[in-house]
Amino acid sequence: MIRFDQKSLNALDRIKKLNIVNSITGIKPANLIGTKSAKGIDNLAIFSSVFHMGSNPPLIGMLCRPSGEVRRDTYTNIKATGFYTINHVPISKTKAAHQTSAKYEEDESEFETCGFEAEFLGDFSAPFVKEASIKMGL
């Protein structure tokens, strides 16, 4: 058994610490969250914090990191428009999906930069991931 306390965890090199903390809770789903900014820019970001809260009524939850000094475009877009999509990551696009977590300019679309196609279904204003087999509009 390996045991860490706060002091020994903080003493680890950045990448080793990141890998331990990110994987300690076990296997998590990866979903792509699609949003559109108030300026009309499509945004795509990978999230592992999507969860089901209940089935009657149907409730899906998602956690975002705290806002502050770092821009949080997904959260800002959801607050501004009230719409977002949850899309399962296609297995063939896992590396591209992870790349959506990189730092991009506010006016740059991760759909285009990371090689995903935005799809608009009906009159829903947030973009879906065309390549995803399961898509939810919220």
Q: Does pLDDT of 27 surpass 80?
A: no
What amino acid is encoded at 32 in this protein?
Answer: L
Q: What is the pLDDT of residue 24?
A: 80
**Cross-strand partners of 55:** 58
pLDDT attached to residue 28 = 80
pTM of the predicted structure, to 2 decimals? 0.83
Q: How far apart are alpha carbons 117 and 99 in whole angstroms?
A: 15
Q: Is the pLDDT of residue 32 over 90?
A: yes
Structure confidence at residue 6 as a pLDDT band (50, 70, 90): confident
Residue 84 has pLDDT above 80, yes or no: yes
CB 28 within 8 A of CB 48: yes
Q: Given pLDDT bands bounded at 50, 70 and 90, which one contains residue 108?
A: very high
DSSP string covering 45-69? EEES-EEEEEETTEEEEE--PPPSS
